[in-house]
Chains A and B, each alone.
Chain A
């Protein structure tokens, strides 16, 4: 698996991970805005297109996040120096799984905003605990 990741990233897994993780976080921030529009807290556009894009963007975030998580585990594994990063990422996977389950089951819809904010927070912590240092060349 590590060789495969090294191969498809042409020997730059950290850089590719930084780009993809940043896209995930940026889209996650947009998700919060779209959800606020959808729930009528930010009446910029109608709720239906906001939720449509929220769903489409969310699908993309889920795929990218799983890809980044697998890359990270395959190449770097769990390192003690990055325990918070690892736990926040694992927590984000768990919350994402619960959110998808709630959406698919059609029950517990009132929990979705809380799950969404929790997921965004965990994604932000995961990103903040590695990417800024990496981009600064300190990794």
Chain B
């Protein structure tokens, strides 16, 4: 049970981190070092 719990916490940490950073990236994605990629391409269409 403790094995599963400690692994579950690790998975939760990964999920929460991805969610938080992705949410933070949203408005700034077009500022990516190399020109913004997909989002900028989509905006230009």
Could you list which residues of chain A lie within 8 angstroms of chain B, going by C-beta atoms? Answer: 6, 9-15, 18-19, 22-23, 26-27, 30, 34, 45-46, 49-50, 52-53, 56-57, 75-76, 134-137, 139
How far does the Cβ of B19 sit from chain A's closest Cβ, in whole Å? 10
Contact of B14 among A13, A23, A34, A137 (CB under 8 A): A23
Which of B27-43 touch A at CB < 8 Å?
Answer: 27-29, 31-39, 41
Specify the main secondary structure of chain A where it touches its partner: helix
* Chain B residue at minimal CB-CB distance from A54: B6
Q: For the complex of A and B, list the 7 residue pairs with the smallest distance between their C-beta atoms, beginning with the closest.
A: A11-B37, A137-B28, A53-B6, A49-B2, A12-B37, A26-B17, A14-B33
Q: Which residues of A contact B20 (CB under 8 A)?
A: 22
Contact of A75 among B3, B27, B34 (CB under 8 A): B34
Could you list which residues of chain B lie within 8 angstroms of chain A, going by C-beta atoms? Answer: 2-3, 5-7, 9-10, 13-14, 16-18, 20-22, 24-25, 27-29, 31-39, 41
* Chain B residue at minimal CB-CB distance from A6: B34
Q: A27–B10 contact, CB under 8 A?
A: yes
User: In the complex, what distance in Å separates the CA atom of A52 from the CA atom of B9?
Assistant: 13
Q: Which residues of A contact B24 (CB under 8 A)?
A: 135
Task: Given A18-B25, A22-B17, answer yes or no on A53-B36 (Cβ-Cβ < 8 Å).
Answer: no
User: In the complex, what distance in Å separates the CA atom of A133 from the CA atom of B36?
Assistant: 16
User: In the complex, what distance in Å separates the CA atom of A26 from the CA atom of B9?
Assistant: 11
How far does the Cβ of A81 sit from chain B's closest Cβ, in whole Å? 12
User: In the complex, what distance in Å separates the CA atom of A60 from the CA atom of B13?
Assistant: 13
